[in-house]
Amino acid sequence: MGKLTTHALDTSRGQPAVGMKIDLFRFESSGWRRLKTVMTNSDGRVSEPLLAGADLVAGRYRLEFHVGAYFRSTGVDLPNPPFLEEVPIQIGIADPSLHYHVPLLCTPWSYATYRGS
């Protein structure tokens, strides 16, 4: 069964990004449609797959990580406006029977991602 999962790591502090808001969108003929909004748990992960089984279809998706709000919640003194407010990561799902894992490693000044497992 295919699924889409994610997690977020605060690499400036070397720990999971607890309580980070993430919006999930799918591109449709009328544009981007928000599918859901989730929060990371105490391990920086989302407790359930973002999409799984029949809900995961081939297409274009965007995960929007709210890093500015997360870092403000941890007490980081960010400039106004912050260098990074939201980090959008657009991915393509070609084979919905596979597991697609999209981690975000972030600081107030940088981010990285990859296709995980």
CATH of the domain at 43: 2.60.40.180
Q: Domain range holding 18? A: 3-113
In the chain (117 residues long), the average pLDDT of successive 10-residue segments reads 96 98 97 98 97 97 98 97 98 97 98 95
pLDDT of residue 117: 85
pTM: 0.96
d(CA 40, CA 42): 7
Q: Contact, 64 vs 53, CB < 8 A?
A: no
Q: Contact, 78 vs 50, CB < 8 A?
A: no
pLDDT of residue 2: 96
pLDDT of residue 85: 98
Q: How many domains does the chain have?
A: 1
pLDDT of residue 65: 98
